[in-house]
Structure 1
Amino acid sequence: MMFKAIIFAALAVAVLAEYELPSDKRAQMRELLREQCKKSGAEDKVDEVQNVFKNFVDCLKNLIDVHTVQKEIEEAKPNGALDEVFKKYCAKSPQLKTCLHNLFDGVAPCIGSESLEHLNSAKNSSDQLIDFVCYKDGDRIALFIAEGGPECFQSKASDIKTCADNFKNSFTSLEDAKKLTVAERCAKLDQLKSCVVSKLETCETPTPANMFESLVNFVAANTPCKKHT
């Protein structure tokens, strides 16, 4: 599938975040990783790929400490200085892109030959997402937080889950989903976007809904869905 590489990479990060997982979960996730590599004829690459994941986690930790960022955001809010916080972290976007590129390249042995062609697409998409968030030194994300974006998403979590469940249930099976044309797939994604936007529009400010819609449109503009939106 088109996003298999991204999904596998995300799973891998969870697998290797050992400091957050109990030992039984670590063993379970490692076994899933081993099975995935075995399916791709790369069982001998498990240790190598695990090291790639560990290096990725270390790379992120060296760039961003989540607790520090949260503290800086809370301190900056009353002073209207969120833009300064995100300007500092967006300056690290080239290094973050490198972290992600190394991750995607490193998981290649266990992705499977049918999905290797999508690795470059995954790299480009991650780069574009970072560029979107860090547009004008992070003005977008600063505005999103200042306008209560995280709180909006949290308050609408149940509604957004309903949108996602409806999207998932619109496919009778994975095989049927694969049979859809590009236009049909894009139409379903557009329905999901419209559903989520309609829920976010009930928040106190329009910024969260506008930001989410802009992000989805930005991503779609760099996919085959551009022709169908």
Structure 2
Amino acid sequence: MSSWSVLPMFSLLAVAAVCAVSGSMDLPGSLDPSLLENVDVDQLRSNYLPPGLQNTNLTVDDLQKLLQSKCQKANDHLPPGSVNATALSKTIEQSAIKLFECLSGLANVTEIQAEIAEATPKGDLDVVFEKYCLRMPQAKGCLKEFNDAILPCLTADEKRHNGVLQRIADKLLEFICYKNGDQIALFIAEKGPECLTDSRDGIANCLNASFAGYLPKEFSPEWNLPQLVLGPKQCVDLYEFETCTVNLLEKCEVITPSNIVESMFRYVRRESSCQPHIDRAKQQHRRAAPLSEADSRSA
């Protein structure tokens, strides 16, 4: 499943490039910007871009130029020459490398999978996740440091929404580690990973149906990145993605994974001001539904 629309698009430009370095998540100790010269662009396209952009001639240089352009446009209101957009974009690239270095030091995916495999037959999943959830404060610190790096390249409107997005990220971590990981342990025990794997194509369709409109059909160096805001439209689109995904997961063999995913969406949504916009959209949909049915009968 493509993860392009799960991450904010601006952060994605820096983060996805680092993810694709040599096709590996194993990063060296030094923060060497030249790492980006070794990015596997084909892997980047297939894993981090929506279907409409997977056949473009996107290069690492294009990603760097988009970052630089974003930083420049966000500071156009300042006197000319007072901001070095190239330096700001390089700082974001290095911060992305440091973020993954930090997170991989806290939780190695391969090690976690091995520990889960060993603990599952014994019923000790809670022990595994308790160990990693104790590291949650460090994970929050890693994310905050990366967020601080991107702040100078955000518009005034994006900065106003940034606090909300940060709180949502923190709440997501807190949900995963609720009672030292009870939720994620239950998710795994109740065949949650299998449910997600079986539903991945459908979830990709949900992603594209909800968020494809934020990206152009074809890549261009003049393309402007979407705003990192959580306004009325974004709230409704997120809710549509939630509804689509939950309905899909309900078809799995066990209903528990669907219930946990739905609870997660609701938990993080409380940190936003989305609910009034969602309620309004649902009310408008209900009002329009009878008219649509009448129109279909008269057709």
Fold conserved between structures, TM > 0.5: yes
In structure 1, the partner of 2:68 is: 37
Q: Give the letter for the 2:68 counterpart.
A: C
In structure 1, the partner of 2:18 is: 16
More displaced, 77-86 or 162-171? 162-171
1:90 to 1:24, Cα distance in 2 relative to 1, 3 A: closer
1:190 to 1:45, Cα distance in 2 relative to 1, 3 A: closer
Please give the alpha-carbon distance, in whole angstroms, between the structure 2 residues aligned to 1:48 and 1:170: 29
Contact kept in structure 1, 2:176 and 2:184, CA below 8 Å: yes
- Larger Rg over CA atoms: 2
Pick from 212, 222, 226: which aligns with 2:275?
A: 226
Q: Give the letter for the 2:92 counterpart.
A: V
Please give the alpha-carbon distance, in whole angstroms, between the structure 1 residues aligned to 2:8 and 2:240: 22
**Alignment map for 1:87-106 (pairs within 5 Å):** 87-106=130-149
Contact kept in structure 1, 2:211 and 2:237, CA below 8 Å: no
SS in 1 for 2:8: helix
Please give the alpha-carbon distance, in whole angstroms, between the structure 1 residues aligned to 2:191 and 2:111: 20
Contact kept in structure 2, 1:37 and 1:109, CA below 8 Å: no
**Alignment map for 1:40-189 (pairs within 5 Å):** 40-41=71-72, 42-168=85-211, 186-189=235-238
In structure 2, the partner of 1:207 is: 256
Please give the alpha-carbon distance, in whole angstroms, between the structure 2 residues aligned to 1:91 and 1:226: 31
User: Structure 1 residue 185: deviation in Å?
Assistant: 5.3
May I ask how many residue pairs the two structures share in their alignment? 223
Please give the alpha-carbon distance, in whole angstroms, between the structure 2 residues aligned to 1:215 and 1:209: 10
Please give the alpha-carbon distance, in whole angstroms, between the structure 1 residues aligned to 2:140 and 2:146: 10
More displaced, 108-117 or 65-74? 108-117
More displaced, 89-98 or 151-160? 151-160
1:28 to 1:124, Cα distance in 2 relative to 1, 3 A: same
User: Structure 1 residue 24: deviation in Å?
Assistant: 5.8
User: Structure 1 residue 5: deviation in Å?
Assistant: 8.6
Q: Which runs of 5+ in 2 are unaligned?
A: 25-36, 42-57, 73-84, 217-225, 280-299
Contact kept in structure 2, 1:5 and 1:122, CA below 8 Å: no
Q: Give the letter for the 1:218 counterpart.
A: Y
Please give the alpha-carbon distance, in whole angstroms, between the structure 2 residues aligned to 1:183 and 1:55: 33
SS in 2 for 1:224: coil
Contact kept in structure 1, 2:246 and 2:261, CA below 8 Å: yes
Please give the alpha-carbon distance, in whole angstroms, between the structure 2 residues aligned to 1:161 and 1:65: 25
1:164 to 1:13, Cα distance in 2 relative to 1, 3 A: closer
Q: Which runs of 5+ in 1 are unaligned?
A: none
Instruction: Report the aligned-residue RMSD.
Output: 3.2
Please give the alpha-carbon distance, in whole angstroms, between the structure 1 residues aligned to 2:67 and 2:243: 34
Q: Give the letter for the 1:193 counterpart.
A: E
Contact kept in structure 1, 2:22 and 2:40, CA below 8 Å: no
SS in 2 for 1:20: coil
User: Structure 1 residue 170: deviation in Å?
Assistant: 8.0
TM-score, normalised to structure 2's length?
A: 0.65
Please give the alpha-carbon distance, in whole angstroms, between the structure 2 residues aligned to 1:224 and 1:157: 29
1:169 to 1:123, Cα distance in 2 relative to 1, 3 A: closer
Q: Write the deviation string for residues 100-127 of structure 1: whole angstroms up to 9, x where unpaired.
A: 0000101223334442223222221111
Contact kept in structure 2, 1:37 and 1:43, CA below 8 Å: yes
Q: Write the deviation string for residues 178-208 of structure 1: whole angstroms up to 9, x where unpaired.
A: 9xxx666544443332222221111111111
Please give the alpha-carbon distance, in whole angstroms, between the structure 1 residues aligned to 2:202 and 2:39: 33
Please give the alpha-carbon distance, in whole angstroms, between the structure 2 residues aligned to 1:38 and 1:186: 27
